[in-house]
Structure 1
Amino acid sequence: MSQTVLLNNIQHQSTRVIASFSAELGDAVASVQVFPTEFIELQKEYAILFRKDADSNQFQATVLLGTEQNENVYLDATHPSGWAAFYVPASVARGPFMIGYQTQQEQGEAVKTPVVHIDMQHPKVNEQQGAELFLEQGGNSPYLQHISKLLEVLHQGIQMQSAMFTAFESCGLIEPVNINFELKSGEKRSLVGNYTINENALRNLSAEQLQQLNQQGFLSLAYAVVASTSNIGKLIERKNNQDSQTGE
């Protein structure tokens, strides 16, 4: 059970956070939600896909990390961080931290401002090991400064994702995709319920549609999604290599 509280340099002066990644620390997940603000980095190493939220029926962006539940093929204890990729999705890298909102009065109006919260029950939170959050002489530690930047990526991404999907849908760019593949073991797998960008529809957009998407900052993101699909093969290769090492 989580215990989310507002982060402050008095109550959490001794709090430390383990900055590495492992299954034991809760990072064994097959997919995670990602945001438009990180598509350009993500497309270099992960397959970006879309899924519909079960409750809202709205599109969300995700990246594949594994081929089955509780599997993350990017976890690798031989790497210093425990993660075998240059870029870690912000929703994973943020660890126990999240964005909350605090209401303040500005010129007689209630204004919500984003603030940092921490889950004190998260497996990476302790007082014995890991990165410090605050410096002894005051101020945020380099690690907390890094986390603040990640949370800003998430905050901005949350702000723009709805408009991005609306633009993609209005241009007829989103299509369902089933991912079928066979492992070296001969086992056949199928990943369903995913959507992607229709490359032909993207190629055949009118000049007006291209201009509009470009002005909104979404055209490069659509191309990033298309380019990222080549990483599905790399993910399957990682899966096969790990299975070979474990003898499965």
Structure 2
Amino acid sequence: MQKIEVLNNIAHEHLRVNPRFAVELNDDVASTFTYVTEFSDVQKEYPILCRKTPDTEEYQAIVFFGFEKKENLFLTDSKPGKQRNLGWNADYVPAVMARGPFSIGIHREIVNGVEKSNPMVHIDVNHPKAICEDGQNLFLENGGNSPYLNHIAKTLEIINDGIPLTKLMFDAFNKHQLLESVVLDIEFQNQDKLKISGFETVNVGKLSCLNGEDLEELNRSGFLQAAYFIAASMSNIRKLIDLKNRKLLAGDN
């Protein structure tokens, strides 16, 4: 069961967090959310697909790590010295995964009769990565933030800033009707077949047909580049298939 607490250098002075990625640390997920604030890094490694949630009808950007439930093809047991991210075989780990047991919570207070909302770092002290004796310190001896905690703060900022910006991005995409349905028909080397549907991607043809004013509007907002990032990321489907085929050939089911 989760136990969420506001992070502070008194109650959590001696708390250590495991920075590794592994199945036993709850990193065995096939997909998660991603945000426009990290698209430039995500699109180099992973496919980004878009979907509309059935309950809210709002769009989400989804980054894929595998093809079936609890399959993360980027988890690795390779020697740590060869990895930029311990246990994860890629140069960039999407923010939702990289944050580990941390999250942003909103602290509300009344100042001069006006309610103010301040984002604060929270931690799930019951998370597997927070139950650790030889992990990363969160605070320095003088009470300041450790380099690891500063890294986590930047990661949480990517998410916190990305949530509203990603919504605006999809509003812009829908305004210009840039999204189209995509169906992925995949066959692996062992002849297993898989069809992935219910997702959308950017139609580059429609994007290239926009007039100058619309293109300028998208460019000023940064969403023109984001659209091309989504489109370019689809080439990483091939990368995922190759990773899956290697797993199948190795007999790792």
TM-score after normalising by structure 1: 0.97
Residue 175, structure 1, aligned to residue 147, structure 2 = no
Find the counterpart in structure 1 of residue 228 from structure 2: 223
Alignment of 1:107-122 (within 5 A): 107-122=112-127
Q: Name 2:209's counterpart in structure 1.
A: 204
Matched letter for residue 209 of structure 1: D
In structure 2, distance between residues paired with 1:90 and 1:171: 28
Partners of 2:19 and 2:129 within 8 A in 1: yes
Tell me which amino acid in the other structure corresponds to 2:184: I
| Residues 186-229 of structure 1 deviation map (CA, whole Å, 9 limit, x = unaligned) | 00011121111011111111111101101111100000001100
User: How many Å separate the matches in 2 of 1:89 and 1:15?
Assistant: 24
Tell me the distance in 2 between the aligned counterparts of 1:38 and 1:181: 27
Alpha-carbon offset, residue 61 of structure 1: 0.5
Unaligned runs of 5+ in 1: none
Q: Which amino acid aligns with 1:50?
A: C
- Which residue does 1:5 correspond to in 2? 5
- Rounded to whole Å, the distance in 2 between the matches of 1:247 and 1:65 is 16
Task: Give the match for residue 61 of structure 2.
Answer: 61
Letter paired with 1:111: K
Q: Secondary structure at the match of 2:12?
A: coil
Task: Please state how far the C-alpha of 1:168 moved relative to its aligned partner.
Answer: 0.3
The alpha-carbon deviation at position 34 of structure 1 amounts to 0.5
1:98 aligns with 2:103: yes
Matched residues in 2 for 1:191 and 1:77: separation? Answer: 28
Unaligned stretches of 5+ residues in structure 2? 81-85
> Percent same amino acid among aligned pairs?
45
CA RMSD after TM alignment:
1.2
- Give per-residue Cα distances to partners, 1:17-61, cap 9 Å, x unaligned: 110101111001010100000001111111011112232121000
2:222 pairs with 1:241:
no
**Aligned position for 2:83:** none
Distance in 2, matches of 1:28 and 1:192, equals 22
